[in-house]
Amino acid sequence: MKRQDYRQAVRLRTGVDGVVRCWWCGDDPLYVHYHDTEWGHPVTGDQRLFEKLCLEGFQSGLSWLTILRKRDHFRAAFADFDPVAVAGFAAVDVERLLGDAGIVRHRGKIESTINNARRMLELQEHTSLYDHVQLFRPEPRRLTEVSELDAKVPESIALAKDLKRRGWSFVGPTTVYAFMQAMGLVNDHILGCEREA
């Protein structure tokens, strides 16, 4: 196999439906649907943005597919990620969530979600989460090689620092960059992916 053909094979994948996609979604129907309909698509609503940021925090150290499979249960457990409702969670809710096998039962991540809901409400006193993260939008780029994919960029480092300064937790630069990719602040579909444009 020529080197260029090998790169093409690694960065793109033709699904069983004949559609050319980024390699990472494989053939799992849930993952393929997420790739095709969500990942990289702009999200403007604060509640959905809050959900995405929280779920990226829960994903840390795990596969995103694990989180996708549990997402509906996460939504039920965390009041559909309504920041007002989650900000009101108390110690009894933390214990309830620690006993819930339908989510990732990690005390630090659960407490972080509650904390971040409170920080979200503070932020919304001045601006929307959507408008705030737009201040950190990276310059547009088109990826042609897998090697060009980053785990973090200067803008995700800056946004992570900003959120941490505001008291948010589980928002490191890698988590924040995954959030930026998921919410469409950047488009990291590989050139040639049918969802890239």
Q: Is residue 55 part of a domain?
A: yes
Q: How far is CA 107 from CA 3, 18, 150, in A?
A: 46, 42, 29
Residue 157 belongs to a domain: yes
Active site residues: 34, 56, 64
Total domains in the fold of the chain:
1
pLDDT in tens, the chain (197 residues): 344 444 444 588 899 899 999 988 999 999 999 999 999 999 999 999 999 999 999 999 899 999 999 999 999 999 999 999 999 999 999 999 999 999 999 999 999 999 999 999 999 999 999 999 999 998 876 665 555 556 788 899 999 999 999 999 999 999 999 999 999 998 888 888 988 65
Contact by Cβ (8 Å): 158, 180: no
The answer to whether residue 92 is domain-embedded is yes
Q: Is residue 118 part of a domain?
A: yes
Q: Minimal CA–CA distance to 137: which of 155, 111, 157, 160?
A: 155
Whether 166 is in a domain gets the answer yes
What are the two backbone dihedrals, phi and then psi, of residue 38, each rounded to the nearest 5 degrees?
Answer: -125, -55
Residue 111 lies in a domain: yes
Structure tokens at 16: 């069983």
Can you give the CATH number for the domain in which 51 is found?
A: 1.10.340.30
Q: Which of 172, 176, 177, 170 is nearest to 149 (CA)?
A: 177
- Domain span at residue 78 reads 46-183
